């Protein structure tokens, strides 16, 4: 688990484009290291890979941060839900559509849902409702019943498809 500087117990990553050295004791998971570094936007709903609230992208791959050893991410580009914001901290189309559709209630699941949706829209610009539901199949939301989330993702996809190509992953 040596970081890029060779220090034991550290992991060097870029989080939303910013270089960060994470403390990572032996066996520490990525979510523990991220939250210890102040990335509280990554939520721990179950700590056992079931709920999807801890989703992040690691080098573009959808990743359960609660199951992933931090040491495995050394050198990786990590994207959390905050990475969806633009350079002026403006909301991503997905975030705007979630607001528009009332697709968040308590909000706890939302960081993981948005990262899963973002991952989907990087692979397809025009997903069917079935594809959206499939992309959310690893996310548990106890509040919304998912219908508003699927509508929000569909409308965000439509907006993004009509506008510029989606921003390249940071």
How far apart are CB 7 and ligand FES at their closest, in Å?
27
How far apart are CB 152 and ligand FES at their closest, in Å?
12
The answer to the question of residue 104 lying near ligand FES (CB under 6 A) is yes
Stretch that binds ligand FES, among 18-26, 70-78, 139-147, 150-158 (CB under 6 A): 139-147
Q: Kindly state the DSSP code that residue 44 receives in the 8-state scheme.
A: -
User: How far apart, in whole angstroms, are the C-alpha atoms of residue 149 and residue 71?
Assistant: 33
The answer to the question of residue 64 lying near ligand FES (CB under 6 A) is yes
With CB under 6 A as the contact rule, the residue among 1, 56, 57, 109 that binds ligand FES is: 109
With CB under 6 A as the contact rule, the residue among 144, 148, 154, 160 that binds ligand FES is: 144
The answer to the question of residue 166 lying near ligand FES (CB under 6 A) is no
Q: Can you tell me whether residue 132 is helix, strand or coil?
A: helix
How far apart are CB 155 and ligand FES at their closest, in Å?
18
Are 72 and 64 in contact, with CB atoms under 8 Å apart? no
User: How far apart, in whole angstroms, are the C-alpha atoms of residue 143 and residue 22?
Assistant: 33
User: How far apart, in whole angstroms, are the C-alpha atoms of residue 28 and residue 26?
Assistant: 6
The answer to the question of residue 57 lying near ligand FES (CB under 6 A) is no
Beta carbon nearer to ligand FES, 22 or 42: 42
Phi, psi of 15 (to 5 degrees): -110, 115
Helices of type H across 2-145: 30-36, 93-101, 110-123, 129-135
With CB under 6 A as the contact rule, the residue among 85, 142, 145, 147 that binds ligand FES is: 142
The answer to the question of residue 47 lying near ligand FES (CB under 6 A) is yes
How far apart are CB 21 and ligand FES at their closest, in Å?
23
Instruction: Report the relative pairing of strands 61-64 and 10-15 from DSSP bridges.
Output: unpaired
Are 103 and 144 in contact, with CB atoms under 8 Å apart? yes
Q: Which residue ranges make up the site for ligand FES (CB under 6 A)?
A: 44-47, 49-54, 64, 66, 104-110, 141-144
């Amino acid at each position: 688990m040596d970081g890029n500087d060779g220090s034991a117990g550290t992991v060097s990553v870029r989080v939303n484009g910013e270089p960060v050295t994470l403390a990572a004791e032996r066996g520490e998971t990525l979510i523990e290291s991220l939250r210890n570094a102040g990335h509280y936007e990554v939520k721990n709903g179950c700590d056992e890979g079931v709920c999807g609230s801890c989703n992040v992208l690691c080098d573009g791959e959808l990743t359960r941060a609660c199951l992933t050893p931090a040491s495995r991410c050394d050198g990786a580009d990590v994207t959390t839900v905050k990475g969806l914001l633009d350079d002026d901290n403006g909301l991503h189309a997905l975030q705007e559509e979630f607001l528009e559709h009332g697709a968040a209630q308590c909000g706890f699941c939302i960081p993981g849902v948005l990262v899963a949706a973002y991952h989907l829209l990087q692979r397809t610009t025009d997903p069917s409702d079935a594809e959206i539901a499939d992309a959310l199949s690893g996310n548990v939301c106890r509040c919304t019943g998912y219908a508003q989330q699927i509508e929000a993702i569909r409308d965000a996809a439509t907006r993004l498809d009509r506008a510029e190509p989606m921003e390249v992953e940071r």
